[in-house]
Amino acid sequence: MASRSTIMDNNSFRAEHAADLDPETRRLTERREELLGGSYRLFYRRPVHLVRGEGQYLWDAVGEKYLDMYNNVASIGHAHPAVAEAVHAQMQRLNTHTRYLHERILDYTDDLLSTLPAELEAGDYKAMFMCTGSEANDLALRVAKTHTGGTGFIATTEAYHGNSELSSSVSPALGTGQPIGENVWLLPAPDSYRTGIAEIGPWFAEKIRAAVTDMESRGVRFAGFIADSIFSSDGVLPGSYLGEAVDAVHAAGGVFIADEVQPGFARTGAQFWGFGAHGVVPDMITTGKPMGNGIPVAGLLARSEVLSSFSDTIPYFNTFGGNPVSMAAAQAVLDVIRREGLQQHAQEIGAEALARFQELGTAHSAVGDVRGAGLFIGFELVKDRQTREPDRDLALDMLEELRMRGVLTSVAGPHGNVLKLRPPLPFGRQDIDWAVGALDESLKALR
């Protein structure tokens, strides 16, 4: 099993930074300290106090403007009026639960299922709704266990799949304090750059097979493999390499759960779902963050026969899940993605941004690799291009430098050295200039 880092603590305000804060920011951090549990983390040594958002831009309490290069919740743009109006209209009318009939959940489900691969037929997949990606993954893992009769899961060493007990048990990105399930096998992510292996698909499939063999030799029956198809927390690994691994999962009797909380909903441009790049059809698809543009809504789409193993015996009721207001928000998001052509936009502007970031990378020896799909880009910092030794300290300093230049982002990967560039989808050409300029200046300031 690979070693584990404490990535979740990478970009965090800590008590020792308090002395450098302006009085207002210090007042707020002290109030948080007094009122909120210590598990809360703030981004940045000098935290940002946001008060307004619009599109890909954010403003803080003193009127400074920021370019959001990180948040995929407000995926169609901060404070999008279409979502605000849809929610307002529905809230004025009715907000209740799924034990009464309501048309919205049915219309939305129909629409959402239409985004699945065209070869699927009506009835092949069914939907369940909840409020967070954590809840979606918790349920998916439970369904996988019921369906297969197994308890063993495979995840990657920097995966993050949620905050419930079960979903956190497959979330090593939470750090070494977080217990990993005893029936969870962790594999290094399929990272071509870091392994130096070009044909990463067969390599990763072999890791899966070996993990299953090891698992079963220890008397643990295999239930499934859960992965975010762009491996966001593992460092952003776009590509088309999971087919053989998913075949291996199926050959071993397991299910493949595609955690689409990060890559889904048009972000990767070429496809609506992240798994589309791999040419695979997951047994279960979970989604959350970008689904309601900030209104808590999440979903599980599952093969009907997989889901029925669970639903035939166990009721599942999520009080707020699939309620008319959540569905109104979710429907508005889908409508906006289509109306504003955001998937095609993500593909075009993402390609342009990637090219510009790569061009910038060649000019700076600290940039080891720049890779992406649509508007999901990893920008990897190294001490040495030859050895590819990760430069975590530089990455953390870069976050602060970028923040000073109005660009908000964070880091990912087992070494915490990959800038995760994941802006709201309206990100435009003028923003590429802002981002490239800030990256260039920050690199120059630090190296």
Residues within window 149-178 making contact with a copy of itself, judged by CB under 8 A: 163-166, 168, 174-175, 177-178
Under the criterion CB under 8 A, does residue 144 sit at the interface with a copy of itself?
A: no
The reply to whether 31 sits near a copy of itself by the rule CB under 8 A is yes
Question: Judged by CB under 8 A, does residue 313 bind a copy of itself?
Answer: yes
Of the two residues 53 and 235, which places its CB atom closer to a copy of itself in the complex? 53
- Is residue 438 within 8 Å of 398, Cβ to Cβ? no
Q: Is 173 helix (H, G, I), strand (E, B) or coil?
A: helix
40 forms part of the interface with a copy of itself (CB under 8 A): yes
For residue 339, give the 3-state DSSP assignment.
Answer: helix
Contact between 419 and a copy of itself (CB under 8 A)?
no
CB within 8 A of 260, min separation 6: which ones? 228, 229, 273, 274, 275, 285, 286, 287
| Of 148 and 347, CB closest to a copy of itself | 148
* DSSP annotation of 179: P
Paired sense of beta strands 152-156 and 407-408, if any: unpaired
Does residue 25 interact with a copy of itself by CB under 8 A? yes
Please report whether residue 37 would count as binding a copy of itself according to CB under 8 A.
yes
Q: x/- site string to a copy of itself, residues 364 to 393, per CB under 8 A?
A: ------------------------------
Does 62 sit near a copy of itself (CB under 8 A)? no
Q: Is 379 left (phi over 0), alpha (psi -120 to 50) or beta?
A: beta
CB closer to a copy of itself out of 144 and 354: 144
3 state DSSP class of 158: coil
Q: Residue 23 interacts with a copy of itself (CB under 8 A)?
A: no
Give Cβ neighbours of residue 242 (< 8 Å, ≥ 6 apart).
190, 201, 204, 227, 229, 275, 278, 280
Integer distance in angstroms from the first to the last C-alpha of the chain? Answer: 35
Considering the rule CB under 8 A, would residue 15 count as an interface residue with a copy of itself?
no
Q: Does 339 bind a copy of itself (CB under 8 A)?
A: no
What is the rounded distance in angstroms from the CA atom of residue 57 to the CA atom of residue 65? 7
Q: Given candidates 311, 385, 404, 428, which one binds a copy of itself under the rule CB under 8 A?
A: 311
Q: Determine how many CB atoms are found less than 10 A away from the CB of residue 220.
A: 18
Q: Which of 15, 16, 19, 35 binds a copy of itself (CB under 8 A)?
A: 35
Q: Is 123 in the site for a copy of itself (CB under 8 A)?
A: yes
